Structure 1
Amino acid sequence: MAVARRIPSAATLGQMLLPRLGHPTALAGRLDARVAFDAGPNEQWSIHINGRTVSLSPGLDPEADTTIRSDAETLLGVIEGRVSGVEAFLDGRLTVRGNLSLSLQMEGMFAMDAPRPARFPRPDHVVAADIDTFYLEAGEGPPVVLVHGLGATNASMLPPLWDLARDHRVLAPDLPGFGDSSKPFRSYNAEFYASWLAAFLDETGIERADIVGNSMGGRIAIELGLVAPERVNRLVLLAPSPAFIKHRQFTGLVKYLRPELAFVPLPLPHKRVVASTKQLFSKPERLPDAWYDAAADEFRRVFDSPSGRMSFFSAARQIYLEEPARPGSGTGSRRCSRRRCSCGASRTAWCRPSSRRGSNAPSPLRPRSCSPTAATSPSSNFPRRRTP
């Protein structure tokens, strides 16, 4: 005899939330936020977190910082700690509008110390190099650190975080100046980020890790590998942003465009951010619209603050102004001539330091050969194709 699976009612969701409100995780003590849970008509609840005090009210709070939508069964599983909100988001069973970082910090907040699978993400904060750093941690095993790109947050690394957490200890921090990490008034260059990343490894008890970097995060990963190779096991570089090879005619002007100008408000419509984000992908239709909406909401949330805009433009300015390092300069990307490169790359290609003759220093950037597109990204020019 088949037994129908019980679908939780709104009252059940409220009943599950109510006894848990008095036992939130320590992370709730840092928050002053409103969160709405929407499981459909007549199945809507809102909570107000003010430090360690949490209150519950029926309906959707119109002033909610974030709204989490799903079916009642999934929401109940997330509240109880049986279901990972990140997994449900990636599977399309759950959507988020508003403050995406806040929704990530809700992960396991009301589990009442119930054991959760090691793979489920665990939000936390740590102070690294005087930067209050928000990060996600998931899984157990060899450590892997995921470093996001310019204008993004650790939420952009959720797919690899969830996949790698099967058999790795995975950490995904918000870079300084982005997401929910501190945004000090300073220069956001590769040297600073590499120093911060080394401090982040220290504070999280990691001696050596695999570093996965996307875009600007790839440039940061390269810098860490160059200045502290003993901290890096392997590098995975997803379209890293090196110094520009061409189109440098505006460097003089950009040097005078101070990041402080970003304190002037710059409104960005949601649709424009979504459209710009889709242009980053060769096949944007492969990602669900809910992901684009969540990413646009998060970018606008951070970009709406003066410190967020300043950090963004400071980091972007450093990327454009960084000059290609010459052989013997010590750090940075190096130009690779056809005569010196074993891969036969064109004269405008970028190669790893190991492609230089006489380089015997141990480094994670020492493959046997390099490719014509080594260390390039969509933000820089690709080498010219050679005729056969």
Structure 2
Amino acid sequence: MHSRPYNLPRFSAALICCVWSLCATATSAQDLNLPRLPQVATPSDTFTLSKPIAITDTNKNTQLLVGMENGQLRLSFPNMPGAEAIVPIDGDEFIISAQVPAGYNRLLNEYQLGNLGTFITGLQETAEPLAGFLMIPPENTNFHSIFIRYYEAIVTAGRLEDAAKLTNRMPWGQLPQEYIALSERLVYRSIEDREFQQTQKLLSLLFQSLTEESFAGIAFRVADTLRAEGNHELAAMVYGSLALSEDSILRQKSLLWAGYSRAVSKDADGARNILNQVQVLERSDENFLTYCLALGRLGYAEDNISDGLRHLSRAMVLTAVDATFKPELYYLLSVGYWESGNRIAADRLAKEFSIFYPENPWLKKYQADYANTL
């Protein structure tokens, strides 16, 4: 680990840290060879529907939505065979509406009652073709109000394959936050079903499509869940991808988690090499908690249990109750106490663990791997 220069003026230390940060960026991006999420195809803004959608325009005239060309709508006209028009999606007076199916209010009632199968069947033909047109602002169309209920329904119903197909057609870089929340739910559902190949595809698509801030907002939580399910490899891809960030705080956090992940695989030298790209942090630093977690895992990887416990105990004090990695922290501390011979402390902490997180995978792993009085 790099320590702070001794007895230097404050401005000189800051300058050195700045230069160090630039060097670390180059090192992390080029030399560490961190695993990354693979590239996947992203939705095109030029396509033709297999079956046109009947819509009404601002003047209540019926037209046919044929597809898109370079992000603009392609429309045809029922009374003018062969004629098409290219229309921008964000004009001030541009409003289009999809025609809803007969009995739409009844379907909405089924949705409210939780009868998702009936709702999905009744709305499928109307909703699914809208996926590629969601870059149209919500104030200019009813597409969003129709589609988002349908998308939420198939995600909630666990129709993973159907939801993934729609996800691959949606313009994620131009969607409101409520869609991103649903995409996170879909990712969790794929993890729950242990469809990790689908999880990877979804994460790759979101990484390429969302802003860095939006992706990071869900990625670390998802990676916590992946580790809980034993998929440290995919979690490491998330960290490796985010470690390329030009944002120094995000890059630092990603490198710390990447080092943590490498330590999980018992590659202590590899973990230390990654963590050496991060300067010594203090409690006032934003990523100090993650720093403690990473050093704790490194201590375990180096068979220095006492040092690992010291860092992880500090992390436990700093961790919020609702942090998605807190069950893992309980597990690590319980294991550390057990391995160090302090069985009383291990059992006491494990009992507390079982009260707060009775169904958590990390608790089940501890119960399976270690004899205790639970």
TM-score w.r.t. length of structure 2: 0.27
Greater share of residues in helix: 2
Greater share of residues in strand: 1
Which entry has the higher C-alpha Rg, 1 or 2? 2
TM-score w.r.t. length of structure 1: 0.26
Higher relative contact order (CA 8 A, sep 6+): 2
